[in-house]
Amino acid sequence: MTQETLNLYQIAQHQFDRAADLLNLSSDLRAILKNCKRQLIVSIPVHMDKGGVHAFEGYRVQHNIARGPAKGGIRYHPEVHLDEIKALAMWMTWKCATVNIPYGGGKGGVRCNPKELSTGELERLTRRFTSEIMPIIGPDRDIPAPDVYTDAQTMAWIMDTYSMTKGYSVLGVVTGKPVPLGGSVGRNTATARGCLYVIREACKKKGIELKGATAVVQGFGNAGSFAALFLHQDEARVIALSDSAGGIFSKTGIDPSEAIKFKKRTGSLVGMPGTEKISNQELLTLECDILVPAALENQITAANAHDLRAGIVAEAANGPTTPAADEILSQKGVMVLPDILANAGGVTVSYFEWVQDQQGFFWDESAVAKVLEAKMTQSFHDVFNSAQTHKVDLRAGAMCLAVDRVANATTMRGLFP
């Protein structure tokens, strides 16, 4: 791309093209892997609390299913659009292949502002959306999970709607469910825990002692709050945090557990005692050993990448760094742990949950954590070795590893008819 783009689908295709070039992928395989297999756009009419019906727009995209059923979250956000969902579905394909689990990539979303909807409206929206996408989802076809502004309760509504329509309980239709409904222990913290395991390995490669290292976390949702908590438990010094209202900074460090309590009590991190308010851009450019972008896409761009002063960037969010920013960070010697590796702990434990649902046999939390650590540690070294082989950064190394695995599966299966 000659000019920086913030269109996620164009960014995803650019990343694919780079890996395809490094792998000398044939034009036939490029034609298959670069495009999404299935795209569904639905209208979701919902009875509103104040009367009347509002029709929301929703999406479910399946990028590739060569290695197994599609897998990917559902997000509720006012800026959800088709290109975003297509990009996220494509990244899910590569993410599942990077950590070598037998899934393809899918993603879904509804364009709405969940903060303005009541619990009843959210339930009705979720159930109608489920009924609209039901023809293409299922435990052997496409398995949704939580994403931005959706959670275990959302998944419970989806599972119940699907099951009531089928006439029997189908636990494996979604992951990220409440534990009493077939969810897995450890799933709620899996994205952050997986990110921590990858950060530990990256610190070894960079010669950084995690104990005493400075860390900055952008975004304080599920992934960001737990990432901060786990880094603090490993005795890193968390000096800055942020949420949608703004950022907070303390040179001496912030206790994430206290920050979680403060936000729960006040609705925001801003104003937490012992901290000073900073802007999002100030937070991203703080001098630190570890920066964890755990918010939304396109946070690190050509406009601010030169100002970043982190040694490691661990992408707990999807797509936080643009290709132009990647190039700048690589030149600066910053180690970027790409999203398809760094936040793959969530889909990995989703896979564990699906396996448990299919078998009807459930693991304890220590077993989940042990297998997750082994999987994420091995995946880091697979990506690192791929990057060394191709003499590229870790994102391109991860993409080469993933695209090669999916391309091999596609070649072995052949083309029907």
Mind telling me the catalytic residues?
107
Tokens of 275: 């901290």
Are 172 and 150 spatial neighbours (Cβ–Cβ below 8 Å)?
Answer: no
Cα angle 252, 255, 258 (rounded to 5 degrees) comes to 135
Tally Cβ neighbours within 10 Å of residue 5.
Answer: 15
Q: Measure the CA–CA gap between 161 and 106, rounded to whole angstroms.
A: 20
Looking only at the bridges linking them, the beta strands covering 38-47 and 53-64 are antiparallel
The tokens of 227 are what?
């990432």
Closest CA to 217 of 269, 157, 290, 268: 290
Write the CA distances from 187 to 149, 183, 352, integer angstroms: 16, 8, 9
Scanning the structure block, which residue is given the tokens 């209202």? 245
- Distance between CA atoms of 153 and 340, rounded to whole angstroms? 26
The owner of tokens 């998944």 is 155
Q: Is 46 helix (H, G, I), strand (E, B) or coil?
A: strand
- Kindly give, in sequence order, each residue whose CB lies less than 8 Å from that of residue 14, ignoring residues fewer than 6 positions away: 1, 323
For 371-409, the three-class secondary structure string (H helix, E strand, C coil) is HHHHHHHHHHHHHHHHHHHHCCCHHHHHHHHHHHHHHHH
CA–CA dist 333, 341 (Å, integer): 19
C-alpha to C-alpha distances, 234 to 183, 193, 196, 229, nearest whole angstrom:
27, 11, 9, 9
Which is it for strands 104-111 and 142-146: parallel, antiparallel or unpaired? unpaired
**What does the alpha-carbon distance between residue 15 and residue 395 come to, in Å, rounded to a whole number?**
9
Q: Where are the alpha helices (DSSP H) in 189-305?
A: 190-206, 222-233, 256-266, 280-284
Distance of CA 397 to the CA centre of its chain: 18
If one counts every other C-beta atom within 10 angstroms of the C-beta of residue 179, the result is: 14
Closest CA to 248 of 279, 288, 206, 291: 279
The tokens for 111 are 């364009």
